[in-house]
Structure 1
Amino acid sequence: MAYWIAGQIVDVSLDPATGTHLIWADVAYDLNYPEDLQSLVSCALNLDDWHESWGVSIETLKEEAIEAAEQLLSKLPPGEHGD
């Protein structure tokens, strides 16, 4: 499921904030927060807690989430990209 959600984040059919939240709350939690999902969980937490006073834009955090999703997808063996 995490790979499927990550694919939707990367192809922009799912907002990165929504997608990372789903991975954090619905996947990582159930799997006891595996290492492979840590960057996406961190992105979810940052996007969830973001405040304009941080000095970083929400768009930058969303770009980081897309990059984290791409990194997760890059760990899939060829031909198993869950499309």
Structure 2
Amino acid sequence: MKIHDWRTRSETGENRLWRARKHGGHWEFMSRMQRSEEGWTNHEKMEINELKTFREVLFNKYQRRRIPWEDIVKIDAMIEDAETASKDEH
């Protein structure tokens, strides 16, 4: 199982900690606010912006030869699916 962590800043200025786990070819995403939340919140659906941020994190790891290219391809497909779904909703 591979685990990837990264941070984003929320609208209130607090850091949101993100964690993605890959197990059996399936990605699981969790997050929590750094100071105000103790437990992790699971995310079944990710926002497109968060997926793009995660892709940047993975691509940086790929450049350092820490992950396979297939992980990048999988995230690209997830981003494309999310963009298609958001277009269908409008």
Judging by fraction of residues, say which structure has more strand. Answer: 2
Higher RCO structure, 1 or 2 (CA under 8 Å, sep 6+)? 1
Between structure 1 and structure 2, the one with the greater Rg is 2
Q: Is the TM value for this pair above 0.5?
A: no
TM-score range with shorter-chain normalisation? 0.3 to 0.5
Q: TM-score, normalised by structure 1?
A: 0.37
Judging by fraction of residues, say which structure has more helix. Answer: 1
